[in-house]
Structures are given as C-alpha cells and as structure tokens.
Structure 1
Amino acid sequence: MATVQVGGVEIAYDRVGQGPPLVLVHGGGYSARMWRPQLYALADEFTVVAWDEPGAGRSSDPPPGFTLTDYARCLAAVIEDVALGPARVLGLSWGGTVVLELYRHHPELVSALLLVDTYAGWKGSLPPEEVAARVEGARRMLAAPREEFDPTLPGLFAGEPPAEFVPLLDAMARDVRPESMGAQLLMMAEADERDLLPRIAVPTLLVWGELDARSPLDVARAFEEAIPDAELVLIPGAGHVSNLEAPERFNQAVRAFCRAHR
C-alpha cells in the first residue's frame, strides 16, 4: 500500500506489477478490494494501481463540500504519485464518472479510457424519473438507523452474486461510510458529462455487462455513439459489476485493448 496527501485528505492505493500503468477506479460503496480478480491477474504485464477513494477503504474522509472535481483532483494526484507517465484509467459505475471528470481537467494524465458499466452522471445518462427514484431510494437508505443501514443497491448482479466473492462483498458493505456514499449518490444525480464525450481524443474501451440493469445497454450505445472511435465489448451473462461476475472475460477484454493501444 502507498499513500498520497491532497489538501489534507490521505488517499491509499495498491500498486502491483511492472509495466505501463493501469489505474482501476472502483464504484460507489466499494473499495480497492473489488479489483481482487484484476489486481494480480494483470500485474504480469502492467503496473496495476487500485485506489481507495476519499471516504472509502483505508483513505480518510473528504471534508464537507467535496465535489466530483475534487475526487478527480485526488485521482490525478495518485497517477502523479505513481510517476510512470500517462495511464490507462479504468472506472466502473460511479468510478467511470470520476474518470470522465479526471479526463475533463487532466487529459495529459490519461493515455486511454476504459469505461465499465458506467454513466455520464445519472443526469447525463438516465431519464429524469429514474434519477428521481434513485435519489428517493438513497434518501430512504440514509435515513435508516446506523444498525439497519444497508448500502446494497438493487440490480448490481444479473443473478445471485458469485459465491466466491460474497464474503468480500459483505466485508466491503460493512465498511461503507453512509455520509460518503450519500454525498456520492447526490453528486451522481446532478452530474452530466455528455458535453465531454465527443471531445475525448484518446483510445476508449466500453465494457458492459449484457444484462446490466442499473446502467442498461442503451447507455452503453449512447457512449459508443458520442465518443469518437469508441470500442464496445459486451460481457455475456453479466450485470453491473462485470469484473466480479465474469472476471476472466473482463480481464481478457482489458488486456487485449491495452495491448492494442500501447
């Protein structure tokens, strides 16, 4: 584990392997541990970096008023701390929205984008009534007493979570900080990155679970249409967390894309 300080926030990240940098950005309610099937499997060819975002895992809490741009600034600091030059940056779900904000403000740090089951913000990808329903669900979740708080969002998996990862998912759920997750969900409700998509000028891979119910395939198709020369790979039988549901197929897609864009 390494750490970097940004404006009083301590950010922890894992770094394994050697080679060009591949930075993994987890979804909301998760931590670097969600990349267990990728971290060492891809380390034979890449320097794989997985952060705990501010407010998650081993990182410290963000201060009040922390914004999506602040998350992107912290991610930029991690890439600079790795000190291997521009990185291939992969973000899943909320993490993909953070990665887009990183590219908006720090394109010089990004050699390629890998966007997984993500959004151009909820406002930028979902109908207004769906956004309103998710915000209401988030408010109900956050209003529950701490002992009843359940950060598990509906529709994450195509079926039951993979049995081998259930202990990991349970451990991450126990570590979720309600204040951080609540702030992120409200940020997602307001985020709209659509204006950025046509201006992306680096190789871009879109990886989507074919059965993703949270970010359905019409969102993937909108990304594919908006981003110049984007490549879309569908993971059969997988839902929103495709890296855990089909890790071998997922790793294959990531490896093939990174090899093609050295």
Structure 2
Amino acid sequence: MSDIVRELRVDGRSLRVAVRAGEGTPLVLCNGIGASLDLLQPFVDRLDPDIPVVRFDVPGIGESELPRLPYNFATLAWQLGRVLDELGCREVDMLGISWGGGLAQQFAFQNPRRCRRLVLVATATGMLMVPASPRVLSKMITPRRYRDPAYAATIAATLYGGRLRDEPLLAKEILYRHAPLARGRGYALQLIAGAGWSSLPFLPLIRQPTLILAGDDDPIIPLVNARIMHLLMPRSTLHVYPDGHLGLVTRADDLAPRIADFLQR
C-alpha cells in the first residue's frame, strides 16, 4: 500500500508528513540528521504492510518549512505530538535512528502513556556518549554528503562503515537519489537541537519495552553506546547486527521483520 503524503499546518508552520495505512498501532519514524522521510523508504517497503507507518520531515529539512527560531528535542517532541493529534493517532510506537533516536527517547519520556513501544537504531544518549573519532565527526558538520553524490561515495566507508565499506557507491543511492537536497540552515538547527541534550538522566525512567539495534561497525555511534543504553533501560533488548550506521536501510530485509516481530508481540 502506498503512502499518502500531505502537508500539515502545525503552530503556523507547514510540515511534510507521509502516512501508510494499516491495522494496529502506528509506527512513527524519526530520521537521522539532514535526512528527509524518503531515506527510510527501503525499510518501509520491507516492513509488514499491516503495520501503519507515519513519517515526517523535521522543520527545515526535506520539504518541511524552515522555522523562525531554533528548537530543542523537548519542544520538537511536543510538536510531534501535535502532528499525531492532527492525524488522529492516540497511541503510537516510536522508532528513531541516529539523531532521530534522541527525539524518540525524548518523546517516550514525555509521553509515557502515548508511546507504547520504542525502537532505537544506531543511536546514543546525546552529548554524554562515547563519541566517534574526530575524523568521523568532522564529516558530520555540513550536509554536503546529501548534496554531492561523488562526495557521498568518497566518505561512505569512513562515515558509515559496514556494507558501505565494500559498496561505497551505494551511498549515492541511499543519500542522494531518494531525498530532497538538505538545506544548510535546517541542518544547523538540528545540530543546535542536539547541543547540550542528553538522555542519560532519564533513561532508567523509560519503562516502555525497547528494542535497541546497533551495528558492529558503526563509526558514528560506537557499539559501546548501545550497551550502555541497554544497561540503563529496564525493559530493553539489545540486538547487534553485522553492518554499519545505515543498517536499517542496507539490512532492511533482516531488520524490518525483526522490528515487526517486536512490535506485534
């Protein structure tokens, strides 16, 4: 079943939202930094079609309107709640990848009754985490990889690891062909939103059943971060997959059924 893509006006700003109809609790996808909702299409295509899916472009990213003022994870989680109100979604499951994992953690903490289950993929606890190497972090400062397909292929092995070490040209397909060009100001606002934020103080308070997925070759989010989160989250399960930072896309055939099984228990 194809998604219905629409624009929603929330707090005077236009947000691009895609909804796939289905039965049961909707799964809300929170994407990584600089990425539009299109990036996770390969994952959605392989996810059980009975599971409803909600995707959105963060303000200033993809085709969502650029906000006038900076935001943080707490205010964005509140705004996401408004989006779900407009869509008529009362109870949801949350999936966050990378930067979007921070938003998913914040939403689950702020909405303990509304968020039923939580899936965290290739993500960490924010500023208080075991960081990537300076060589990797330096390539995260700008959204150039979303704009320049040749550059994306050049840095794919160093930045994303896993399958992209052997198939760097796949980065063109993942980052460039399926997504609107990332805007510099919107990307900067995402960087600002993560500055100073950490989930470490409240992770033990997240009581939703949580599936943590982490790659064994993820240069951006070292695997030890997933192990720390697993220790702190009382109802979490950790699965380590043999791939890198974009495993949710490059290993969608394996991870999508695993996530569906977790959500449908």
Question: What corresponds to 1:195 in structure 2?
Answer: 201
Identical pairs, percent: 24
Distance in 2 of aligned mates of 1:224 and 1:182: 30
Q: Does 1:113 align with 2:111?
A: no
Deviations 1:146-194 (A, max 9, x none): 99xx787852232155756633412467611111212222332421110
**Segments of 4+ moved more than 4 angstroms:** 129-133, 136-139, 150-154, 160-165
- Secondary structure of the equivalent of 2:113? helix
- Secondary structure of the equivalent of 2:46? coil
Q: CA 1:124–1:47 in structure 2 vs 1: closer, same or farther (change >3 Å)?
A: same
Task: For structure 1, list consecutive stretches of 5 or more residues without a partner in the other structure.
Answer: none
Deviations 1:85-129 (A, max 9, x none): 2111000000000111212322232111101111211x12135x9
Whether contact under 8 Å (1:97, 1:118) holds in the other structure is yes
Question: What corresponds to 1:62 in structure 2?
Answer: 67
Q: CA deviation at 1:233?
A: 1.2
**Aligned partner of 1:181: which letter?**
Y
Stretch deviating more after TM superposition (80-89 or 37-46): 37-46
Question: Which one of the candidate residues 4, 10, 32 is aligned to 1:6?
Answer: 10
Distance in 2 of aligned mates of 1:194 and 1:86: 25
Distance in 2 of aligned mates of 1:67 and 1:132: 26
Whether contact under 8 Å (1:213, 1:239) holds in the other structure is yes
TM-score (norm 1): 0.85
Q: CA deviation at 1:255?
A: 0.9
TM-score (norm 2): 0.84
Distance in 1 of aligned mates of 2:194 and 2:78: 17
Question: What corresponds to 1:258 in structure 2?
Answer: 263
- Secondary structure of the equivalent of 2:16? strand
Whether contact under 8 Å (2:62, 2:180) holds in the other structure is no
Q: Does 1:100 align with 2:105?
A: yes
Q: CA deviation at 1:216?
A: 1.2
Stretch deviating more after TM superposition (71-80 or 225-234): 71-80
Q: CA deviation at 1:77?
A: 1.9
Distance in 2 of aligned mates of 1:125 and 1:131: 14
- Secondary structure of the equivalent of 1:58? coil
**Aligned partner of 1:84: which letter?**
C
Q: Does 1:23 align with 2:28?
A: yes
Whether contact under 8 Å (1:4, 1:77) holds in the other structure is no
**Matched residue count:** 252
- Secondary structure of the equivalent of 1:252? helix
Whether contact under 8 Å (2:215, 2:245) holds in the other structure is yes
Question: Which one of the candidate residues 171, 180, 183 is aligned to 1:177?
Answer: 183
Question: Which one of the candidate residues 209, 217, 223 is aligned to 1:211?
Answer: 217
Deviations 1:22-53 (A, max 9, x none): 11111001111111112233252211111111
- Secondary structure of the equivalent of 1:256? helix
Q: CA deviation at 1:12?
A: 1.3
- Secondary structure of the equivalent of 2:254? helix
Stretch deviating more after TM superposition (241-250 or 150-159): 150-159
Q: Does 1:239 align with 2:248?
A: no
Question: What corresponds to 2:89 in structure 1?
Answer: 84
Whether contact under 8 Å (1:156, 1:212) holds in the other structure is yes
Whether contact under 8 Å (1:90, 1:114) holds in the other structure is yes
**Aligned partner of 1:3: which letter?**
E
Distance in 1 of aligned mates of 2:199 and 2:37: 24
Whether contact under 8 Å (2:219, 2:244) holds in the other structure is yes
Q: CA 1:17–1:43 in structure 2 vs 1: closer, same or farther (change >3 Å)?
A: farther
Q: Does 1:47 align with 2:52?
A: yes
Question: What corresponds to 1:249 in structure 2?
Answer: 254
Q: CA 1:179–1:85 in structure 2 vs 1: closer, same or farther (change >3 Å)?
A: same
Q: CA deviation at 1:131?
A: 8.1
Structure ranking higher on relative contact order (CA contacts 8 Å, 6+ apart): 2
